[in-house]
Amino acid sequence: MPNLQQRDPFAVWWNGRAREAGFENAEALAAAFALPRYRLAQIYRAATKELAPGYDAITVLPADLRERLRTALKWSSLVVEREATSKDGQTTKFLFALADGKEVEAVLMRHRGGRTTACISSQAGCALKCDFCATGQGGFFRNMTALEIFDQAVHVARRARQEKLSLTNLVFMGMGEPFLNYDAVMDSVALLNDGQGFNLGARHITISTAGVVTGIERFAGEGIQINLAISLHAPDDTLRTSLMPINKKWPIATLVGAVKSYVAATNRKVFYEYLMLAGVNDRPEDARQLADLLGGPLHHVNLIPYNATDAPYRCADPATMRRFQSILRERGVPSTIRHTMGDDIAAACGQLRVESSRKESKAASA
Ligand code: SAH
């Protein structure tokens, strides 16, 4: 199993493009088009570093080659089906179609402090069936390829550039469970991180997992500076299992134990995500139990306002969230209350796809 240092982004990109066009690999493609290595490098650079809109824009290539490439090779694995921007202008959500028609989502977030974050998907659908999550309700379709994952970031970065913004951060918090598509996700990270290409620093990338312990263990051995976030959402097994069925396989003690080993091995801070669900996990005793669980160095809790979906949950009110936070603070657990972004455009995980299929079924029944 290769670790990140051994993953070659250039090869990932070209092998991916070749396979999409029906070739066995990059070598077969390069032979068919008589492309020397420097041409491959020019194209890779245009796509990943310069964020060119298409083959036609690569003016260093002869016109006839551009034409041949345009008709034979994809420039992106994704087609944009929908784009929606929140009223406050901070959040833009994209619904993409993959080649087989499966839909995935990404989000561009313009933060007040100047950061610009892309949130991207790692799978079409999700198998984990978290009770509060719109993606989970829709079921699992398939893993995304490294190039499909990466092309979301390229699209979001190109869109941001129209406003003279450049991406500063990227999170794997869209559809899917990154650690159940481990190799493709790590290959996409190699692409994101490539100094000759997209060039987003590892410390600006965060992978969020629902608690796939085997993935956390493997990730601890990568020797990279990517941030790790754990979707915890409940301080005890009964509640967590009712919200997140994955907790049956890897209960809290196992999960937190794996995270502590990760911290010990890497000396890196871990972020625990905790959705604030009114009357479900937002009581003072939940905060106390959470604090007891998380003792030790290098952890931070993000308290996340819940974006309403069809699931029967509401977001905790602001006063409850502040009280929850103060209990954590008294017990020495650092935390941040995240502010909601894009709730008017259904920016919660999987919601745009749900809206889109709802519109389709309306159209079909009309
Ligand atoms: N499977 C991974 C990554 C995708 S979900 C994981 O579970 O971490 C990214 C984050 O969005 C998770 O913390 C998830 O619990 C949260 N989330 C899902 N639905 C949400 C909603 N309606 N409102 C706010 N956050 C939500």
276 CB-near residues (< 8 Å, 6+ apart): 282, 303, 304, 305, 306, 315, 316, 320, 321, 324
In 3D space, the residue among 306, 310, 357 whose CA is nearest the CA of residue 134 turns out to be 310
Quick one: pLDDT at residue 354? 56
d(CA 325, CA 297): 18
Q: Which residues line ligand 1 (CB under 6 A)?
A: 132-133, 173, 177, 208-210, 231, 273, 275, 304, 306-307, 309, 348-349
337 bridge partner residues: 303
* Three-class SS state of 130: coil
Residue of 52, 23, 49 lying closest to 35 (CA atoms): 23
Pocket test residue of 109, 119, 173 for ligand 1, highest count of atoms within 8 A of CB: 173
CA of 179 to the centre of ligand 1 (A): 14
Per annotation, catalytic residue among 103, 222, 349, 360: 349
Active-site residue identified among 105, 148, 177, 273: 105
Catalytic (active site) residue 20? no
pLDDT of residue 2: 66
Cβ neighbourhood burial of 48 (10 Å; 0-12, 13-18, 19+): buried
Atom of ligand 1 nearest to the CA of 128: 1
Tell me the C-alpha to C-alpha distance, in Å, between residue 294 and each of 13, 64, 235, 260. 40, 61, 10, 9
Low-confidence ranges of the chain (pLDDT < 70): 1-5, 346-366
Q: Is 177 assigned a catalytic role?
A: no
CB contact burial 155-165 (16+ within 10 A = b; e otherwise): bbbebbeeeee
Q: Name the one residue in this structure whose structure tokens are 């089906």.
A: 81
What's the CA-to-centroid distance between 10 and ligand 1, angstroms?
Answer: 31
pLDDT value for 6? 73
Count CB-CB contacts under 10 A for residue 339: 10
> How far does the centroid of ligand 1 lie from the alpha carbon of residue 172, in Å?
10
CB 72 within 8 A of CB 21: yes
pLDDT at residue 70 in the model: 95
Whether the model clears a pTM of 0.75, i.e. scores above it, the answer is yes
Closest C-alpha to ligand 1, atom 25: 306
**What separation in Å is there between the alpha carbon of 135 and the centre of ligand 1?**
9
124 alpha carbon – ligand 1 mean position (Å): 15
- Which atom of ligand 1 lies closest to the CA of 230? 8
Choosing from 349, 351, 352 the residue with most ligand 1 atoms within 8 A of its CB, the one to mutate for a pocket test is 349
pLDDT score for 298 = 86
Q: Supply the DSSP symbol for 338.
A: P
Q: Beta strands 103-110 and 91-97: pairing type? A: antiparallel
Measured by CA distance, the residue closest to atom 18 of ligand 1 is 133
Cβ-contact 109, 341 below 8 angstroms: yes
Identify the residue whose C-alpha is closest to ligand 1 atom 12.
231
